Amino acid sequence: MEYATQMDAARKGIYTKELLAVAEDEKIDKDELIKLVAKGQVIIPANKNHKCLKPSGIGTKLRTKINVNLGTSRDWTDLDMEMEKVKSAVDMGAEAIMDLSSCGDTQVFRRKLTSECPAVIGTVPIYDAVVYYKKALKDITAKEWIDVVRMHAEDGVDFMTIHCGINKETARKFKRNKRLMNIVSRGGSIIYAWMEMTGNENPFYEYYDEVLDICRQYDVTMSLGDACRPGCLKDATDAAQIEELIALSELTNRAWEKDVQVMIEGPGHMPLNQIKANMEVQQAMCKGAPFYVLGPLVTDIAPGYDHITAAIGGAIAATYGASFLCYVTPAEHLRLPDVNDVKEGIIASKIAAHAADIAKGVPGARDWDDNMGQARKELDWEKTFEYSIDPEKARNYRASAKPEKEDTCSMCGNFCAVKNMNKILDGEIVSIFDE
């Protein structure tokens, strides 16, 4: 039987090879999974032209996934370096790579990604349109914006961030309700400026059905962009953010009518005490469509440490409903991340995702920690490294300060509580100073 998208297949009761792979990977019953995909509560982004894809499921009941943003910029055009970052991101367990290239021949890098990279690939066509047409922003036509979506779909991109929620109505709300940081989304600011300069409706909103037809043809998942995501705590959960979410919930329904898979993008900067409510509102309004959060960063005062502010917010967001975390690196707000920044950002996001999976009771998530607990109890340092999220760092730390007694570490030496408790419970004598 023929099908157009993973959602269409699920609704027709077809078990695609991608769905079966996800079911096996997640250890979830395939009959349960197919129902979730049919309802839109799990997505399997899998463009028909991305032949080397290792499919991942994103959504309820599955492990929390992470995305890594990469790509060239005017100040950084080295494609080999970007491919090196891609390989290390995949090796470290990133399930998705977003190519945010905004300089040079972006199609070369994009096609290289979809022909060589097994991770789910995402893009933001708005950035690319500006580079591709090489003309004044206001002169790009509505048709040209949509043509770039088609080009990315043909190139094999699995999901695209499309900023179609910032329509004229949302823009009016944004203007009436002043914000401290205005619009901080790159794509959102571009399309807002285009709307202001041309007086036209957002083309991705006006011609949304055409965008959906392209997505249906190639099975591209829509990542409904949040142009009005708060860029500082003061703007969190304000009228513009909520107005856009209302628009995104309507656009979700329209996508589902055409069997197009959808996820919703979310905040942003947000005080810790507002995260749970935001996740619940999104889940209720968008009928459980997977939530893809960009942080949330729980404080604004930590440039250089924003992988930590985002990991705190990401862990809470994922605990209360988010399914997909966009990594944030220590370079956030400061510069394009280098290889080490990428690594730090991935590790921080993986920790957040895993912590949430434990809290949500994702089957098997806790096993990793229980294995680590056992290794620590046995003072089995090799196993401790093996179960570390970053074995190399753990090994280097221990090697940098060798303990006097090999079975302990230099933190407490002979006062090692673990060793002393093991001994006393085994009926041995414990002596701190005499050994």
**417 interacts with ligand SF4 by CB under 6 A:** yes
* C-alpha span between 388 and 171 (Å, rounded): 47
* Residue 346 vs 416, nearer CB to ligand SF4: 416
**416 interacts with ligand SF4 by CB under 6 A:** yes
Is 228 annotated in a binding site? The answer is yes
**384 interacts with ligand SF4 by CB under 6 A:** no
Long-range contact set of residues 168-171: C-beta below 8 Å, sequence gap at least 24 = 168/195, 168/201, 168/202, 169/243, 169/247, 170/227, 170/228, 170/240, 170/243, 170/244, 170/247, 171/195, 171/196
Degrees (nearest 5) of the Cα angle 258, 277, 342?
75
* Residue 354 vs 419, nearer CB to ligand SF4: 419
Q: Where are the alpha helices (DSSP H) in 155-219?
A: 168-176, 186-198, 203-206, 208-218
**401 interacts with ligand SF4 by CB under 6 A:** no
Binding to ligand SF4, residues 21-60 (CB under 6 A): none
Is 80 annotated in a binding site? The answer is no
The residue within the footprint of ligand SF4, chosen from 104, 198, 412, 422 (CB under 6 A), is 412
3-state helix, strand, coil in the chain (%, to 5): 50, 10, 40
Q: Where are the alpha helices (DSSP H) in 294-362?
A: 306-319, 339-360
**119 interacts with ligand SF4 by CB under 6 A:** no
Is 208 annotated in a binding site? The answer is no
**372 interacts with ligand SF4 by CB under 6 A:** no
CB 352 to ligand SF4: min, Å? 24
**375 interacts with ligand SF4 by CB under 6 A:** no
Residue 433 near residue 413, CB atoms below 8 Å:
no
* Residue 4 vs 379, nearer CB to ligand SF4: 379
- Applying CB under 6 A, the span of 21-29, 47-55, 98-106, 415-423 interacting with ligand SF4 comes to 415-423
**418 interacts with ligand SF4 by CB under 6 A:** yes
Strand, coil or helix: 409? coil
CB 382 to ligand SF4: min, Å? 14
The residue within the footprint of ligand SF4, chosen from 1, 301, 401, 411 (CB under 6 A), is 411
**What DSSP designation does 98 have?**
E
Interface residues toward ligand SF4, by CB under 6 A: 408-409, 411-412, 416-419
